[in-house]
Amino acid sequence: MKWYRIIFAVLIGLGFAAQTIGIIEFEAPLPPEAWLVMGLVSLSGGWMAFDGGRALIDGDYVTPSGGKMAGQLGPWSSLIKAVGIVPRSTLMKSIFLIYGLIYLGLALALGLGSPWAWLPLLVVAILGLWYVPLGTFLNVLVIVLLMLPALRPAL
């Protein structure tokens, strides 16, 4: 089993357990859409925080070890180069780490029922669309879920 599946299952399980035994008390139960958003953000933001932190410590991102793409970064690196940032620079590695941690924190705030979390979470999801292909897919799902009436605050 892959490590990210274990982390995802543990995070979701801890959230459900905390809500069930009363460690976290909500005025109203979280809608399923909120759990989905937290799960998707855990995957996307968690991976970016992990990969950025690992790259800062070990010197490089996680890349394929075999095949045609061995040692190469994903398609996102071309977009980053186009705006003048070196994908393997300390700046980009730091952006990965900070973005991932902010994204995770906002998802936690949404899960805790913070009314202010919706708009920053939407903005961060939109800002993450550049992370092609995985981040783009996950962030589109997060944006769609955030726009559903169950999660969208009265505007």
Q: Where are the domains of the chain?
A: 3-147
| Whole-number pLDDT of residue 79 | 92
pLDDT > 60? residue 134:
yes
Residue 69 tokens, joined:
């793409």
Higher pLDDT, 142 or 2: 142
| Whole-number pLDDT of residue 83 | 94
**Cβ atoms 44, 142 nearer than 8 A:** yes
Buried b (16+ CB within 10 A) or exposed e, 2-29: eeeeeebeebeeebeeebeeeeeeeeee
pLDDT > 60? residue 24:
no
**pLDDT-derived band of residue 155, with 50, 70 and 90 as boundaries?**
very low
Its sign, for the CA torsion 94, 115, 24, 150, is: negative
Task: Tell me how far apart the alpha carbons of residues 79 and 42 are, in angstroms, rounded to a whole number.
Answer: 23
The model's pTM: 0.80
pLDDT digit string, tens, across residues 81-109: 999 999 999 999 999 999 999 999 999 98
**Cβ atoms 41, 102 nearer than 8 A:** no
The alpha carbon of 96 is separated from its chain's Cα centroid by a whole number of angstroms, namely 10
**What does the CA dihedral 44, 48, 49, 54 come to, rounded to 10 degrees?**
140
